Amino acid sequence: MPATFPYIAGALLLAAGATSAQEQVVNLYSARHYSTDEALYSNFTKATGIKVNRVDSDDAGILARLKAEGTASPADVILLVDAARLYKGEVDGLFQPVKSKALDDAIPAQLHGRAADGSSLWFGYSTRARVIVYDKASVKKEDVDTYEELADPKNKGKLCIRSGSHPYNLSLFGAVTEHMGEQKAEAWLKGLVDNMARAPKGGDTDQIKGVAAGECGIAVTNSYYLARIMRSGKPEDKAIMEKVAVVFPNQQTWGTHVNIAGGALAKNAKNRDNGIKFLEYLASPEAQNYFANGNNEWPTAKGVKVTNPALEVMTGGSFKSETIPIGKVGANQTKVQQMLDRVGFK
Ligand code: FE
């Protein structure tokens, strides 16, 4: 008996070698870097046997890399945050259309980047809201519960907001342009500039901190940055939450602006079927929990519910979000950038 062991081991090694020559893989370029995403990838491999190879970069880095690599690109699936970037990838021809019944059934129609033939160029897997944070002591909720009021002279000298050209703001302003029309939107942007407490600097978290520090009365942020602070046990974060309150704007009118994190099949995908399997997997309840809840976002797949204590507290259970197709928001960004230049919003 013992004599057969080396033989068996040899046979197993050979078999393993043969398998790895045609190993199933999917190459992922991801702009998301959350610890919960690790579990997401390993569970996909467990369920399908397809290994996930990742290249992590920021959104701009991924788009630049895909362009530079061209047809030689090994990328199969691309994950990006914000509709402004997904739209950019779309117009730069970096994606290919996908027709998937599973994804059509799971992801609401307004969260698809639609190709002319009705197939999809990208899919939104989680949503985040662009909300208003204010100083509880010096600002009244009723003075900041609409985006319009951010530009009202009554809020002069109070507003803190990151750069106007950041995709989060390009998308918010693109949405406002859809809702108000171009002329009013430009006047509104001018009003934001007039109301600034300081020139735009830093990211969304820095704006929240600016309110807590008393430098700003009002700030604009994506909901998950606030949720992170709410869920943090650090004394400095607890101190921030003593000072600030949040409002989901425009509940009486067109609803709060929401954006997405999304995924697409790369134009030159070499593992096309595996890429589609991965995109479909991201809409499954298990993956949605990691993908959305892991970053304090809302899942998009129909029927998927996750309970996130910070988001519950923030919204009181639910809120009204805008209903314009997210693709339109991204498509307005060139127009918005021109308006920003005209009104001097850096
Ligand atoms: Fe972010």
Task: Give the Cα separation of 114 and 290 in Å (integer).
Answer: 25
**DSSP classification of residue 258:** E
Q: Is residue 120 part of a domain?
A: yes
Place of tokens 């985040």: 128
Gap from CA of 191 to ligand 1 centroid (Å) = 25
Task: Tell me: do 188 and 242 sit in the same domain.
Answer: yes
Query: 232: which 2 tokens?
Result: 């943090």
**20 Cα: distance to centroid of ligand 1 (angstroms):** 37
pLDDT at 345 over 70: yes
* Ligand 1 centroid to residue 216 C-alpha, Å: 21
Tokens of residue 9, six digits: 């081991």
- Region of 180 please: left (phi>0), alpha (psi -120 to 50) or beta: alpha
The residues with which 198 forms a beta bridge, in sequence order, are none
The alpha carbon of 8 and the centre of ligand 1 are apart by a number of angstroms equal to 52
In angstroms, what is the span from residue 100 Cα to ligand 1's centroid? 28
Same domain for 116 and 133, yes or no, is no
Residue 197 lies in a domain: yes
Q: Is the pLDDT of residue 4 over 50?
A: no
Would you state the structure tokens that stand for residue 169, as one six-digit string?
């703001």
The verdict on residue 314 lying in a domain is: no
**Residue 20: what pLDDT?**
53
Separation of CA 231 and ligand 1 centre (Å):
16
Condensed to tens digits (0 to 9), the pLDDT of residues 65-77 reads 999 999 999 999 9
Distance 285 CA to ligand 1 centre (A): 23
Task: Residue 328: name the closest of 260, 263, 236 by CA.
Answer: 260
- Between the CA of 339 and the centroid of ligand 1 the distance, in Å, is 23
182 and 162 part of one domain: yes
Distance from residue 117's CA to the centre of ligand 1 (Å): 32
Q: Are residues 301 and 207 in the same domain?
A: no
Could you tell me the distance, in angstroms and rounded to a whole number, from the CA of residue 330 to the centre of ligand 1?
A: 16
Same domain membership, residue 337 and residue 223: yes
- By DSSP bridging, strand 112-114 and strand 218-222 are unpaired
pLDDT at position 21, please? 53
| Domain co-membership, 251 together with 185 | yes
Tell me, yes or no, whether 275 and 265 share the same domain: yes
Say if residue 123 is in the same domain as residue 133: no
CATH code at position 215: 3.40.190.10
Tens of pLDDT, residue by residue over 266-275, are: 999 999 999 9
Using CA of residue 293, residue 299, residue 302, residue 307, what is the dihedral sign? positive
**Cα–chain center distance at 156:** 30
Query: Does a structural domain hold residue 312?
Result: no
- Give me the mean pLDDT over the 124-130 stretch: 97
Q: Could you give phi then psi for residue 79, rounded to 5 degrees?
A: -110, 125
* Position 316 in a domain: no
**What are the pLDDT digits (tens) for 172-190?**
999 999 999 999 999 999 9
Cα–ligand 1 centroid distance for 224 (angstroms): 8
Spacing, Cα 112 to ligand 1 middle (Å): 20
pLDDT digits (tens, 9 = 90+) for 286-313: 999 999 999 999 999 999 988 899 999 9
pLDDT tens profile 183-217: 999 999 999 999 999 999 999 999 999 999 999 99
Measured in Å, residue 23 CA sits from the centre of ligand 1 at: 34
Number of folded domains in the chain?
Answer: 2
- Please provide the average confidence, as pLDDT, over all residues in the chain: 92
Distance 40 CA to ligand 1 centre (A): 19
What pLDDT sits at residue 236? 98
DSSP SS3 for 61:
helix
In a domain, 59, yes or no: yes
Q: What was the pLDDT predicted at 312?
A: 95
Quick one: 223 and 271 in the same domain? no
57 and 153 fall within a common domain: no
Q: Is the pLDDT of residue 335 over 50?
A: yes
Q: Is residue 16 part of a domain?
A: yes
Same domain, 106 and 10: yes
219 and 176 share a domain? yes
Say how many Å lie between the CA of residue 246 and the centre of ligand 1.
Answer: 18
Domain that holds residue 269: 3-127+259-305
d(CA 111, CA 70): 27
pTM value is: 0.90
Tell me what pLDDT residue 37 has.
Answer: 82
Whether 7 shows a pLDDT value over 60: the answer reads: no
| Res. 22: pLDDT tops 90 | no
Segment 312-338 shows an average pLDDT of 93
Q: How far is the CA of 30 from the centre of ligand 1 (A)?
A: 13
**25 Cα–ligand 1 center, Å:** 28
Strands 258-266 and 77-81 turn out to be antiparallel
The answer to the question of residue 191 being in a domain is yes
